[in-house]
Amino acid sequence: MTVIPTEPESPAQRFTRRQLIYQGAVLAAALGVAPGILAACGGTTGTTAAAASGSASPGGDISGTISFFSWQGYDLIDIPAMKSWCKENGVVVKSTYINMGDDITAKFTTGGGKGVYNLSTYFQGYGPFYASLNIPTPLDLSRVPNFKKAYPFFQTGPSAENWWLIKGKQLCTPFTWGLMGLNYDSEKTKAPTSYLDLLQPQYKNKVGIVDDVIAAMVIGAHIKGIFRTDSLYTPAQADQILSYWYELKKNARTIIPSYGNMADQFVSGEIIVGVPGWAAVNSFAAGKGDKSVMHTLPQEGAGAFVDGYMIPPEASGVDTVYAWINQAFDPKVQAQTAEYLVQGAVIPEAVPLMSAEAQKLYPYDQIADILTKSAPLEAIPFVVPDGYANWEYWNKAWTTFKAS
């Protein structure tokens, strides 16, 4: 930048110091700086009332802040029974939402989340891997008495020992479960009965594919008939599974970054079907005025999942967290949660509290069968024997798919 010589300023052009400060003050006031500075000095966030951070005082005071890091919806902030409990007890929930399950793993290892968040969840497939990375803080079940009312399937037995009660330590308390099929707009199409229906020309440029590699892997495996619960697929089989998705991409409008975003795409009419699907998307879309989004399980099969609350490493304010988790298993809260997320509850007493439609959605009398036989829970292939595709391979392959 060339510099042009200038004459020295004339007195008329100079600012006096007073003017300078005055102008600065005007600007500061315009910004409303005062509360900001006060807040910075005081160190409080100044949001909802009755938010006192810190651990429990001797009087059994459990008020505090929950720093939640997981899927949108799992923080229960829209569940009336939970909202009123939080208000009564001075509990504030601050949430950061994720887009992929891996975000949780990364956050509490290389993502700088240790000590920052004190509540999270994990999808059961991650259990053994998390244990090896020492991510979950082992839970003291005596502080979550409501969990004892859960279906036995979630408390003990081979499934529990596989996913949640690993090597004698309770790493998470499962609180919800569901099946992942596909979502569709009932006003614009009939419910597809097969994933292969989506390849038809009528859906050209109207399909949304969610960026969820786990669900894609499971659903793809079901479609190709090679599904395994240990998720051990050779690279050739992995490519076979992905071939469905490559085929589907030709009909795809967009790759959707999150399930919440899928609701937006339905509402704005960009897509008519979305896969992998999540029933909660129906609620998200309904919340925006579009009540026609539905979820269905095509004939090839669905991905099953169980999600549970876990306490991340180096968490603080743990008393508040335990009280909150315990409240999450209160039958009323469970019933409302199940209805909102359109997923299954884990507390039997919650089922009669649900609406009739919600009760029929999931076969509560056959949970064990469903989750072990017809829509079995699957592992995530983190550590695999030679010759099989491991997690890195899957992620690479999926990224290549997205970029193609």
Partner 1 sequence: MSAPAVTTSASVPLGVRRSAKTRRRLTIFLLLAPAVAIVGGALIVPALNLLVQSFVRSLGYGQLSYHFTLSNYTSALADPLYRTLALRSFGLGAVTAVCCLLLAYPVSFYVSFRLKRGRNLALYLVVLSLFSSYLVRLYAWYTVLGTDGMINGVLKSLGIIHEPLSFLLFNRFAVLIAFVNIFLPFSILMITSAMQNIPREVLDSAHDLGAGPVRTFTRVVLPLTMTGLIGAFAYTFILTSGDYITPALLGGATASTALANTVTNEFLSQGNPPAGAAISFVMLAVFFIVYALLGQLERFKGI
Partner 2 sequence: MKRRRKFQFPWLLIFTVAVFVFLFAPVLLVVLFSFNKTAALTFPFHGFSLQWYRKVLSSPTFVSAIFASLKVGIVTVLLTVTIGTLAALGVTRYSFPGRRALRTLLLLPAALPGLFMGTALLTFFLVAHVQLSLFTATVGHLVYVLPYFFLVASTRLDRFDFLLEESARDLGAGPWSTLWRVTLPIIGPSLIAGALVAFSLSWDEVMITYFTIGNQNTLPLVIYSTVKQSIDPSVNAVSTLLLAGSLIFLIGARRFIADLQT
| Binding stretches for partner 1 (CB under 8 A) | 1-5, 100, 102-103, 105-107, 109-111, 133, 205, 209, 249, 252-255, 257, 268-270, 382, 392, 395-396, 399-400, 402-404
What is the per-residue binding string for partner 2 in 53-82, x denoting contact by CB under 8 A? --------------x-x--x----------
Q: Does 267 bind partner 2 (CB under 8 A)?
A: yes
What is the per-residue binding string for partner 2 in 268-307, x denoting contact by CB under 8 A? xx--------------x--xxx------------------
Distance CA 128, CA 91 (A): 31
Q: CA separation (Å) from 100 to 104, 291, 303, 344?
A: 8, 26, 16, 21
Nearer of residues 151 and 382 to partner 1, judged by Cβ: 382
Nearer of residues 130 and 362 to partner 1, judged by Cβ: 130
In whole angstroms, the minimum distance from the beta carbon of 116 to partner 2 comes to 4
Nearer of residues 33 and 226 to partner 2, judged by Cβ: 33
Maximal CA-CA distance, the chain: 89
**What does 80 interact with, of partner 2, partner 1, none (CB < 5 to 8 A by kind)?**
none
Of positions 35, 80, 152, 157, contacts partner 2 by CB under 8 A: 35
**What does 103 interact with, of partner 2, partner 1, none (CB < 5 to 8 A by kind)?**
partner 1
**How many residues touch partner 2 (CB under 8 A)?**
57
Distance CA 280, CA 262 (A): 11
**What does 2 interact with, of partner 2, partner 1, none (CB < 5 to 8 A by kind)?**
partner 1
Q: Which residues bind partner 2 (CB under 8 A)?
A: 1, 3, 6, 8-9, 14-17, 20, 23-24, 26-27, 30-33, 35-37, 39-40, 45-48, 67, 69, 72, 92, 94-97, 99, 110-117, 257-258, 260-261, 263-264, 267-269, 284, 287-289
